[in-house]
Structure 1
C-alpha cells in the first residue's frame, strides 16, 4: 500500500487563483512561492488581466514547466473581481486563495491554514493570519499587526462572528485569507460591479459565516508607495463609489442596534475623508446613509450640511 499517495488523496484540494496585472517585476518570486509550498494537493490557476508588460511571457513559461497549472489570458482588462470569478467558477478546490502575483506565500502557508480549518466546524468560512509587509525590493517593512511586549497582536484580531467588526474597522490582511469554497459559492463569488473585492466579501461572508484568526505570519504583502492611488476620496474615485455601494448592502444586512452603530463608525470615517478631499457629492451620499443608521453626531451634521451645499460645484 502506498501510504504517501493515500495521505495525499485524503488532503483537501486547495485552489490558488494567481491574479496578474503588470507584475512582471514580481511574478517569478510569487510563482516560485507556490512551487515552494509544503502542502501537496494544490490546483493552480494563472489569470492575466490583459497585462501590457512581460507578465504573460513569464506566466506561459511557468505554465509550460508545470503542465498541471491552468491558465486564463484575458484579452482586455476586466478588473480583479471579474478576473477572479473566471477562475473560481472553473476550479474545484474545497478551499480557495485569491493570490496577487506581487505578493509571496511563505512555504507552510497552505498547510497551516488547512490544518486550522480542519480544527473548525463548517460554520467557519475564512481563516486569515498576519502578514509581513515588504517593499518593492522585497525588503521587510513591518508586520500587519502591531504586537505588545509579549508578542501578542494588540488589539487582538477578531475571531468568530465578526460582522460588526468588519463594518467598524479594517483589520484583516486580505492576502492572507484562505476561503472555504462553500462560502464563496454561497455569495456567488465576488461582486463584479465593484472596483475592489475585500470589503464587500467580508461584509457578505461575515453575515453568515464565522472567521478565524490564525496567529502566524503566512504571507509577504507587497507595498507600492509610488503607485498608490492619487484619486483616493477625490471626485470620480471608483473605490469610494464601491465602498458606498457595500455600505448600502451592509445597512440592509444589519440586524441589531450594535451592528448599525458599527456601520455608523465606518460611514463617519468615510464622510470625513470625502469632505476633506472635496468629494462633496459622495460625502452627501454618505451622510444620507449615516442618517439611516440614526447615529449622526454634531460634526456629522455640520459635514453633511456642507457636503450637500457644495455637491453641485
Structure 2
C-alpha cells in the first residue's frame, strides 16, 4: 500500500539489520510508523533469519510503502547488513535502529530539527534502558553536549539507536567489519575531524537482551581491546590507557551510577 501522507521535510533513511527478530520487530517497526515525522524510509536487511522474521516484515511492508525489505541469501553479519542498507538509502539523513530497539514518537522530528538548526553532520541523543520484556530498568544514558575523537575512544557514550548522520556531509559512510562495528564507525568519522553533537533528551529505548553478545562482559571487553589495537592502531601503552577508561566507565554503569558508557556495540 502506498503511503500518501505528505511531508516536505528531508527524507530520513532508517537503517535496520534483522536476524531472528520475530519477537521484537513488529514493535520496532510500529515505533517508526508512530513517528510525528512522516518523511522516512525504513530499509530492513534480513540476514537470513531462521525464524519467521521475513514473513512478518513482508506483511507489514505490504501496508506501508515506506518499509523496504532486503532479504539476504547468506548470513553476512550486522555490519555488512547495515552497509547494504546504507548503500540503498535515498535520504539526506541516515538514522540507525536495531530490530529490537524502540523510538519515542518525536525522535525523528526533534532530531532533524536539531540537525538543521546547527547544520550538523553527526548527532545523537540520550536514551533509556528496557529489559527483554520492554519494562524500564530506570537507567538513562545522557548525551553530552559534544563528543570528539579523544573523548569517544575511552567512552562508548554514543548509542547506535540514537545516531543520525547527514549523508551529504560525509564522503563515505560504511561500518567496518570489526566489532563493535557501530563504535568503530563513530571513531572513523570523528578521527576525520567531525564532532558528534548530543541532544540531551531521551528519545529512544535500548533493549537489553539476555543472550546478546554485548551482555557478555568478557567478550565485549575483548572486542573493544581488539578495536583499539587493530583499527585504531594504538600501541600497547595507549591501548591500555583507553581500555582502562572504558572499563572504569563500564564498572560505574554496572554499579547503577550515572553511566558514562555502555557495552552496547552489536547485540
TM-score for the superposition, normalised by structure 1: 0.69
Q: Deviations over 1:79-115 (max 9, x none)?
A: 1111111111121111111211100111100001000
* Superposed structure 1 runs of 4+ greater than 6 Å apart: none
Gaps of 5+ in 2: 249-267
Matched, 1:194 2:178: yes
The Cα of 1:238 is off from its aligned counterpart by: 5.8
Bigger radius of gyration among the two: 1
What are the within-5 Å matches in structure 2 for residues 70-85 of structure 1? 70-85=68-83
Gaps of 5+ in 1: 146-152, 253-259, 273-313
Matched, 1:266 2:205: no
Aligned with 2:43: secondary structure? strand
RCO (CA 8 Å, sep 6+): is it higher in 1 or 2?
A: 2
Matched, 1:244 2:229: yes
Matched, 1:174 2:172: no
The Cα of 1:66 is off from its aligned counterpart by: 1.4
- Going by fraction, where is helix more abundant, 1 or 2? 1
Matched, 1:61 2:59: yes
Pick from 87, 90, 93 the counterpart of residue 91 of structure 2: 93
Could you tell me which residue of structure 1 aligns to residue 40 of structure 2?
A: 42
Could you tell me which residue of structure 1 aligns to residue 252 of structure 2?
A: none
Could you tell me which residue of structure 1 aligns to residue 202 of structure 2?
A: 217
The Cα of 1:70 is off from its aligned counterpart by: 1.7
What are the within-5 Å matches in structure 2 for residues 120-135 of structure 1? 120-121=118-119, 124-135=120-131
Q: 1:262 to 1:219 in 2, by over 3 A?
A: farther
TM-score for the superposition, normalised by structure 2: 0.80
